[in-house]
Structure 1
Amino acid sequence: MKLCVIIPLCALFTLTQQGPPQDQCVCDLTNSEKAFPHAKLSTVEDNASKCNININPKKTLELESLMLGLERRLPQLQEDVSVLERENDSELYGALSLLVIENELTEIKKLIKKLNMTTQGHHRLTTDTNDQLKDLITEMAKLEKYDTLQVVKRKQAHERLKKGLRPTSQPTQPPHGICPHGRFLNITGPRIYTAGEYPGSYMYGAWGRDPKPEVGKENWYWLVMLTSSNIYANYVRLYSSLSSLIVGVSGPGNIEIHSSNPTTNTVQGPNVVLYGGALYYNCYKKYAVCRFNLTTKTATTMQLPEGTRFNSKGNFCNLDACYSYTDLDLATDESGVWVIYTTSQDFGNLVLSKVEEGEPPTLNQTWHTSVFKQGVSNTFMACGVLYATRYVSKEVEEIFYSFDTSTEVEKFNIGIFIKKMSPNIYSLNYSPVDQMLHAYCDSFMVSYKVVFG
């Protein structure tokens, strides 16, 4: 019985193995859609990139800076003419006044010539770019026909929906001390962007205004460039107005600290300020602050505490590297001069001290913070409050930290952003005269408006 069952099964298996193989199935796929024009898309992308390169904030800022310089220069000329009319004695005084007015007119003519050339260049650029944009819009409209699945249209609708649902967040308000301007709210600008007299020549330096100027020098600007190895400087360059600085005409010229560079009492590092007709800076190869009187041409020093980091051992840093010889940062605000540094006793955290005027200057009250200096890219003072910045990207710097000397309250969540024109800010000085923040960035001079309220 069992044998009868086994034999048919074996026979069935044998027949199955000997059967003919099945035929393979082949399908032809025909695409009725036109081939996507990848070459045309690449051309559109290239043209868009060229537009972004040609039209950038630097173009607008160049024109704004020239206009601002002309705006400030013209009232000064009018005042000079009025003085001549009132006090002209037809002799020596009149001749000297006419010479001053002649120099003013020469600078104004240079400024107007540069302004006209810049305006004409911008007009041509605007016309060309407008034509390019029309072509780009036409080409993109043609390319959208290939989006048969409507991916782009759905993405655009999704972005509009997200934008409509996004909540409006209130900005973090930084702390403030006793400030005549009110609360520190924001930084706007840049307001000024110029290469000045030596475009691209000196990467490190500092510039700004004297918060306590001598009589007759209320509108002057100063500039210190590190002319030796991007580390040292031996003079301060002066300009009689903002427009003079922008067009690169230094009437007062240079005031030398020493004929040699570098040597005793010359400048080391980019963090320099001018206050009360005297230059404050890191002395050459010393953990000390130098004060150079521009009138008497004399230098005095103020020693910092033992253990202060110097000679590029306590620098500011960004994400990739540190800024050389930024051990000492000098700052000015409504109350005078400050020095920011670090010591081995503070384990690399920022230390802030008030500097009192005098020859020599003296160190007054000192505050110790809990922010690590190498996590900071720069500092400045405003109304007795220390603010620290950090590098976010090549385009953005963030004011993230504050220390209020009146309350000793620290905050790490300020969240105010600075729009940069160059990747690196080597010095940052606040001017209480006009509430401007002056930055020196890769040989360019940039200024921002500090908004109080």
Structure 2
Amino acid sequence: MKLQVVLVLCAAFALSLQAPSSQECWCELQSEEKAFPHAKLSMVERNVSDCNRNVTPKKTLELESLVLGLDRRIALLHRDISVLEKEDDGELYGVLSLYVVENEMVEIQQMMDKLNRTMKGDQHLTADVTQQLTELQAEMGEMETFDTMELVKGRLATQLLKKDLDNCRKSLNATVPPTQPPQGTCPHGQLVNVTGPQVFTGGEYPGSYLYGAWGRDPEPEPGKENWYWLVMMTVSNRYSNYVRLYSSLSALIVGKSVPGNIIIHSSNPTTNTIQGPNNVLYRGALYYNCYNQLDVCRFNLTTNTVSSFELPKGTRYNSKGNFCNLDECYPYTDLDLATDESGVWVTYTTNQDFGNLVLSKVEEGEPPRLGQTWHTAVYKQALTNTFMACGVLYGTRFVSKDVEEIFYALDTVTGKERFNVGIFMNKMAPNIQALNYSPVDRMLHAYSNSNMVSYKVWFE
């Protein structure tokens, strides 16, 4: 009996496998949501990448370089025409000069054509980018409608909350930040170009004092934020006994000095007066090479007091370790004081370094003292000047009477030296006797053959 029941059940199961069931259930799922446009999102990403690639700071630098070059060539053309007007040589050299002027005008026309093409290209680029940004904004707004469950918004809100939480934790465990940026780090990025000049003036005493220095105090006293200072070597192009102040750049240009001279000593030269042109003003005090000493002096303009500290034994001074070009050395430029975002620095050379440049940080105090020191591989007399910017030492050299090159750099954080910086400066006179960087306005102030010249410094 049991065997018969099992056989019946097996037969029924086999039939159910062979014959389709009439009671099958189908369920069709229909979504009212639109399919997400992945292709459109990829296209938006490509367009954003194209915008980032096409719109770069190099476009601005290229345009400014063309304008600067055109300005310089026009000035040279004007000079050559002035020479031609004065010539009286029986029409022989006058014809040759005309050919020179003609060639210069052709080159100027070519530069103007290139400038026009560049400007038109930039105008088209600006219009295209504006249109693309408008379209991208509309497309992104359209794609936001696909986030019906607000997943993306939820993620953004979560990220913001996490960021706030991290900031809160950091603030609880934070130490007091330093008052000055650390050496060698620059919030602007790497120095990439110097353009100008933006200011060129003979000032109050045009052509009278060949050597000197000028600039701005990086950390001025309240009420003196717009002041400029000027130190001229008034005796033998070597010595001075006062610093001259101007309430603004326009006052300096027109030669209206207020409050006038701040006298270090009535005699010039004498103990603790200024020797050499490479001076700087920082926090209301002038730093300079003390007369006839291997010391750095600091003259407080408010209290009229002088404090000093000695450089290492063997430091070359009294015009034995100068800056030089191929034809001459600049007398009494043994010490070069500089300022940047972190304070005051001094460059010099010693007998122990065999004439190579030495850099030291000046630590404030009463009296000030010499801080950390770097020994470089660049020969000091191969340089025409140095300046500091964001904890990096830069050195210049003479290329021609019209061009100076920033060719050397030392990063005080990594200790790495570079000899191929390759930034060129257009000069208004053959020599630059002093060079100071101002972190206040990111300008480079040069004293050049009694002229005051300033350049715009560009960071990456």
CA drift of 1:43 comes to: 2.7
Q: Deviations over 1:348-367 (max 9, x none)?
A: 00000000122211111001
Give distance in 1, aligned partners of 2:103 and 2:341: 40
Equivalent position SS for 1:246: helix
The one-letter amino acid paired with 1:363 is: L
- What number of residue pairs does the alignment pair up? 294
2:387 aligned residue: 380
Q: Does 2:43 align with 1:43?
A: no
Give distance in 2, aligned partners of 1:331 and 1:381: 6
Q: Among residues 273, 289, 301, which one is paired with 2:296 in the alignment?
A: 289
Q: Does 2:319 align with 1:268?
A: no
1:202 aligned residue: 209
Q: Deviations over 1:305-334 (max 9, x none)?
A: 000000000000001111100000000000
2:412 aligned residue: 405
1:76 aligned residue: none
Q: Among residues 300, 307, 311, which one is paired with 1:300 in the alignment?
A: 307
**Percent sequence identity over aligned pairs:** 72
Q: Deviations over 1:160-189 (max 9, x none)?
A: xxxxxxxxxxxxxxxx93101112110000
1:22 aligned residue: none
Equivalent position SS for 1:198: coil
Equivalent position SS for 1:295: coil
The one-letter amino acid paired with 2:333 is: T
Equivalent positions of 1:36-185 (< 5 A) are 42-46=93-97, 177-185=184-192
The one-letter amino acid paired with 1:293 is: N
Give distance in 2, aligned partners of 1:209 and 1:396: 24
Give distance in 2, aligned partners of 1:48 and 1:260: 56
Q: Does 2:459 align with 1:452?
A: yes
1:415 aligned residue: 422
Give distance in 1, aligned partners of 2:103 and 2:299: 46
The one-letter amino acid paired with 1:383 is: C
Distance of aligned partners of 1:388 and 1:304 in 2 relative to their CA distance in 1, 3 Å threshold? same
Unaligned segments of structure 2, at least 5 residues: 1-88, 105-182
2:338 aligned residue: 331
Give distance in 1, aligned partners of 2:319 and 2:435: 18
Q: Among residues 423, 431, 448, which one is paired with 1:441 in the alignment?
A: 448
CA drift of 1:41 comes to: 6.8
Q: Deviations over 1:362-418 (max 9, x none)?
A: 111001001000111100000000000010110011111100000000011111101
2:372 aligned residue: 365
Q: Does 2:312 align with 1:312?
A: no
Structure 1 length-normalised TM: 0.63
Give distance in 2, aligned partners of 1:446 and 1:359: 34
Distance of aligned partners of 1:242 and 1:39 in 2 relative to their CA distance in 1, 3 Å threshold? same
Unaligned segments of structure 1, at least 5 residues: 1-37, 54-175
Equivalent position SS for 2:250: helix
Give distance in 2, aligned partners of 1:258 and 1:52: 56
The one-letter amino acid paired with 1:256 is: I
Give distance in 1, aligned partners of 2:273 and 2:362: 19
The one-letter amino acid paired with 1:233 is: S
Equivalent position SS for 1:243: helix
CA drift of 1:50 comes to: 8.2
Q: Deviations over 1:422-447 (max 9, x none)?
A: 00000000000011000000000000
CA drift of 1:251 comes to: 1.5
Equivalent position SS for 1:217: coil
Give distance in 2, aligned partners of 1:333 and 1:225: 22
1:356 aligned residue: 363
Q: Among residues 258, 261, 265, which one is paired with 1:251 in the alignment?
A: 258
CA drift of 1:196 comes to: 0.1
CA drift of 1:44 comes to: 3.8
Give distance in 1, aligned partners of 2:409 and 2:455: 18
Give distance in 1, aligned partners of 2:99 and 2:270: 52
CA drift of 1:40 comes to: 6.0
CA drift of 1:45 comes to: 3.6
Q: Deviations over 1:83-107 (max 9, x none)?
A: xxxxxxxxxxxxxxxxxxxxxxxxx
2:28 aligned residue: none
The one-letter amino acid paired with 2:437 is: Y
Distance of aligned partners of 1:239 and 1:52 in 2 relative to their CA distance in 1, 3 Å threshold? farther
Give distance in 1, aligned partners of 2:261 and 2:100: 43
RMSD of the alignment, in Å? 1.9
Q: Deviations over 1:125-159 (max 9, x none)?
A: xxxxxxxxxxxxxxxxxxxxxxxxxxxxxxxxxxx
Runs of 4+ more than 2 Å apart: 38-53
CA drift of 1:46 comes to: 3.6
